[in-house]
Structure 1
Amino acid sequence: MFEGNLKRAFIFSLSFFFLFLIFGALAFSQNPESGKAMVETISQNVFLPILTDNSALLAINLFINNTEASVLLFIGGATFGIVTMFILMTNGIIVGFVLQFTMIEKGLPVVLAGIIPHGIFEIPAFITAAGLGFILSESIWREFRGRGDAAAEAGRLGKIFVMTVIPLLIAAAITEAFITPQIINLVSI
């Protein structure tokens, strides 16, 4: 039963994220000037604080940043999923904006080179963390109705988080810091 819940939560989280990614890309397309201003604001407040020329330090910064976001996605389930949904929604919109901006400015090859290498690890990590958050929310509801033990479920979910999400985030951070820039350079020539 638990594995089926995780699969459903993963599919829901992935669908919800991509819905808002598409929304972000379409919103950017409707008003590119405002979209560019938004991407600039995002860059200044989100990306620039973690960027460095030292690839190892960048990997550490990326891992910390992505782990914080993933933990919030997971424990956001304790708010009956409201925080988890909000984070998925805002991240989907931001990714949509940035992808659309990059598509217009640099083209599809750079978009693909910039997202696929580390995205194959990072996106499943985020979506799994969100799915775990939604299952946590569901277990809290069950406990309120006298049909479950949310604390025990949170412990099981936490183990899955540590064994699944953290390794994916490590792989994503290393790939994004060391490999993704090289691939972007190759396709930008």
Structure 2
Amino acid sequence: MNNLMLQFKRMKHYFIASALVFTVSMVLGAGYSEQFQAFIEMQLKGMEQWAQSITKTENPQWSLFWLIFWNNISKSLLVIGVGAFFGVIPLFFLIANGLILGYVIAVSAQQQSVLFVIKGILPHGILEIPAVVFACAFGLRMGVLVMKSLWGLVNPTRSLVYKEEFRSFAKALIPVFVIIIITLTVAALIESTVTYWLIKP
């Protein structure tokens, strides 16, 4: 537990940076979507296909839960692991999700209402969005630690320090995974029940 708290303290700037990247991406998606139209449309087509496949099942809400659950958890945990590739993938993940969410919010507010947006995002988003940002922050730190470790190969005087830093970080990943899984499970339950009910025609 002490090590986990220590890692959280060391992660402060990564949390802030990840939240800023996500927020800026949302603003770009909402206000400058034409610059990213091709990418956004490609992502939304995939989401539309998922939605259509769910409506054809016997229990759409249960199918929706499992789809959200596996999609969010697998991507969030994966983004930490692939952060080892210098943090590029977590950064892309933040930007992509921010752009899409910003675009969806802007379009939904224009076509429906601000209340519709609040009902469609706030109940589960209050847990899901921080969890995704949280996971990406750990992915970014993973990338930084890998770069430090590589630097340690040519700088032996810092090698032991970097190795210990990486070891402490790695020890904290299991409880971090548990936190992410629990948070996203609750978010998926809320999205497939409360949010589903609120926005259902």
Query: Could you state the TM-score of these two structures normalised by the residue count of structure 1?
Result: 0.85
CA distance in 2, matches of 1:8, 1:39: 29
- Displacement of 1:27 in angstroms is 1.3
The match for 1:57 among 47, 63, 66 is: 63
Match of 1:11 in 2: 16
> What SS class does the counterpart of residue 162 from structure 2 fall into?
coil
Tell me: CA distance 1:39–1:108, structure 2 relative to 1, closer, same or farther (3 Å): farther
Aligned residues: 182
Q: Counterparts of 1:104-119 in structure 2 under 5 Å?
A: 104-119=110-125
Residue 66 of structure 1 corresponds to which residue in structure 2? 72
Which residue in 1 is equivalent to 2:43?
Answer: 42
How far off is 1:163 after superposition? 2.1
- 5 Å-filtered alignment, 1:1-189, equals 1-28=6-33, 31=34, 41-49=42-50, 52-53=54-55, 54=59, 55-144=61-150, 145=152, 146=159, 147-149=161-163, 152-153=167-168, 155-185=170-200
Q: Note the C-alpha offset of 1:160.
A: 3.3
Higher Cα Rg, which structure:
2
Equivalent residues of 1:39, 1:98 under 8 A apart:
no
Identity of matched residues, %: 26
Q: Give the aligned residue type for 2:194.
A: I
- Distance in 1 (alpha carbons) for counterparts of 2:79 and 2:103: 21
Rounded to whole Å, the distance in 2 between the matches of 1:9 and 1:94 is 22
Q: Secondary structure at the match of 2:54?
A: coil
Measure the CA separation in 2 of the matches of 1:42 and 1:181: 21
Q: Deviations over 1:25-53 (max 9, x none)?
A: 1113xx5xx95x87654332124325524
SS at match of 1:52: helix
For structure 2, the residue ranges without an aligned partner over 5 or more in a row are 1-5, 153-158
Alignment partners' CA distance in 2, 1:12 and 1:39: 23
Task: State the distance in 2 between where 1:80 and 1:104 align.
Answer: 38
